[in-house]
Amino acid sequence: MAPPEVHHLFHHPIADHSFSADRGTLAVARENNVELYGKTGGKFQLKDELRGHDKTVTGVDIAPNSGKIVTCSQDRNAYVWEPSPQGWKPTLVLLRINRAATCVRWAPSETKFAVGSGARLIPVCYFEEEDNWWVSKHLKKPIRSTITTVAWHPNSVLLAAGSTDGHARVFSSFIKGVDARPEPSPWGERLPFNTVCGEYLNNTAGWVHSVAFSPSGDALAFAAHDSTVTVVYPSAADQPPKAVLSISTQVLPFMSLIWSSESEIIAAGYDCEAYRLQGSEQGWQLAGSLEAAKGRPGLQDQREESALNMFRQMDLKGKSSDDTKLKTVHQNTISTIRSYEESGGVVKKLSTTGVDGRAVIWTL
Amino acid sequence: MAAVNWRTINIDALDPDSPANFDLTSLAPAVAPVSTADVQSLAGHIRQLLRGGDSEGALRGALENPPYGADERGKDVHLATIIEILQSIRQSEMSPILSRIYQSDGGTEALDVLMKYVYKGMGHSSSATATKQITPQATGFSQVHGRGGSEGGGQAMSVLLSWHEKLVEIAGPGCIVRTMSDRRVV
- pLDDT for A85 equals 92
**In the predicted structure, residue B126 carries a pLDDT above the cut 70:** no
- A284-302 mean pLDDT: 67
Are the C-beta atoms of A220 and A170 separated by less than 8 Å?
yes
User: Is B154 contained in some domain?
Assistant: yes
Burial class (CB in 10 A: 0-12, 13-18, 19+), A90: middle
All structural domains of chain A: 5-291+328-363 (2.130.10.10)
Burial class (CB in 10 A: 0-12, 13-18, 19+), A11: exposed
| CA distance, residue B179 to nearest chain A CA (Å) | 8
User: Is B9 contained in some domain?
Assistant: no
C-alpha to C-alpha distances, A120 to A101, A134, A146, A173, B141, nearest whole angstrom:
10, 20, 5, 16, 58
> Which range scores top for mean pLDDT: A108-112, A302-306, B32-36?
A108-112
Give per-residue pLDDT as tens, A28-85.
999 999 999 999 888 999 999 999 999 999 999 999 999 999 999 999 999 999 999 9
What count of other Cβ atoms lies within 10 Å of the Cβ of residue B102? 16
Interface contact B174-A207, CB threshold 8 A = no
- pLDDT for A141 equals 83
User: Read out DSSP for chain B?
Assistant: -TTS-GGG--HHHH-TTSGGGS-GGGTSPP-----HHHHHHHHHHHHHHHHTT-HHHHHHHHHHS--TTS-HHHHHHHHHHHHHHHHHS-HHHHHHHHHHHHHSTTHHHHHHHHHHHHHHHHHHHHHHHHHHT--SS--HHHHHHHHHHTHHHHHHHHHHHHHHHHHHHHHHHHHHHHHHH-S---
Tell me which residue in B19, B27, B174 faces A249 most closely, judged by beta carbons. B174
**In the predicted structure, residue B130 carries a pLDDT above the cut 60:** no
User: Is B5 contained in some domain?
Assistant: no
d(CA A70, CA A115): 10
Instruction: State what percent of residues in chain A have pLDDT above 90.
Output: 77
> Which uninterrupted H or E stretch holds A17?
strand A17-19
> Which uninterrupted H or E stretch holds A313?
helix A307-317
Nearest to A96 by CA among A132, A133, A67, A125: A125
Choose the weakest-confidence range: A93-107, A198-212, B15-29, B54-68. Answer: B15-29
- Amino acid symbol at A31: E
| CA distance, residue B74 to nearest chain A CA (Å) | 21
* Mean per-residue pLDDT of chain A: 91
Listed in sequence order, the residues at least 6 apart from A318 whose beta carbon sits closer than 8 Å to its beta carbon are none
- pLDDT for B151 equals 52
* Mean per-residue pLDDT of chain B: 82
User: Does residue A349 belong to the interface with chain B, where contact is any CB pair within 8 Å?
Assistant: no
Choose the weakest-confidence range: A223-232, A314-323, B56-65. Answer: A314-323
- pLDDT for A292 equals 73
Are the C-beta atoms of A200 and A244 separated by less than 8 Å?
yes
Listed in sequence order, the residues at least 6 apart from B69 whose beta carbon sits closer than 8 Å to its beta carbon are B31, B32, B33, B34
- pLDDT for A252 equals 95
**Total residue count of chain A as it appears in this document:** 364
List chain B residues with CB under 8 Å of A253.
174, 177
Give per-residue pLDDT as tens, A216-271.
999 999 999 999 999 999 998 888 999 999 999 999 999 999 999 999 999 999 99
Give per-residue pLDDT as tens, B140-180.
444 444 444 445 567 888 999 999 999 999 999 999 999 99
Are the C-beta atoms of A331 and A356 separated by less than 8 Å?
yes
| CA distance, residue A336 to nearest chain B CA (Å) | 20
CATH number of the domain that residue B122 is part of: 1.25.40.190
- A122-148 mean pLDDT: 92
Are the C-beta atoms of A38 and A54 separated by less than 8 Å?
no
- A289-314 mean pLDDT: 65
Reduce the DSSP state of residue A307 to 3 states and report it.
helix
d(CA A115, CA A262): 26
The domain of B92 spans: 31-130+150-181
User: Is B15 contained in some domain?
Assistant: no
Give per-residue pLDDT as tens, B74-122.
999 999 999 999 999 999 999 999 999 999 988 899 999 999 999 999 9
- pLDDT for B131 equals 47
| CA distance, residue A281 to nearest chain B CA (Å) | 18
Q: How many domains does chain B have?
A: 1
CA-based radius of gyration for chain A: 21
- Give residues 193 to 232 of A whose Cβ lies within 8 Å of B: 201, 203-207, 224-228
Are the C-beta atoms of A41 and A53 separated by less than 8 Å?
no
**In the predicted structure, residue A301 carries a pLDDT above the cut 80:** no
Interface contact A248-B112, CB threshold 8 A = yes
- pLDDT for A146 equals 93
Q: Strand ranges (DSSP E) for A250-333?
A: 254-261, 264-269, 274-280, 283-289
- Amino acid symbol at A267: A
**In the predicted structure, residue A15 carries a pLDDT above the cut 80:** yes
User: Is B124 contained in some domain?
Assistant: yes
- A338-356 mean pLDDT: 94
- Give residues 21 to 50 of B whose Cβ lies within 8 Å of A: 22, 26-29
- pLDDT for A315 equals 83
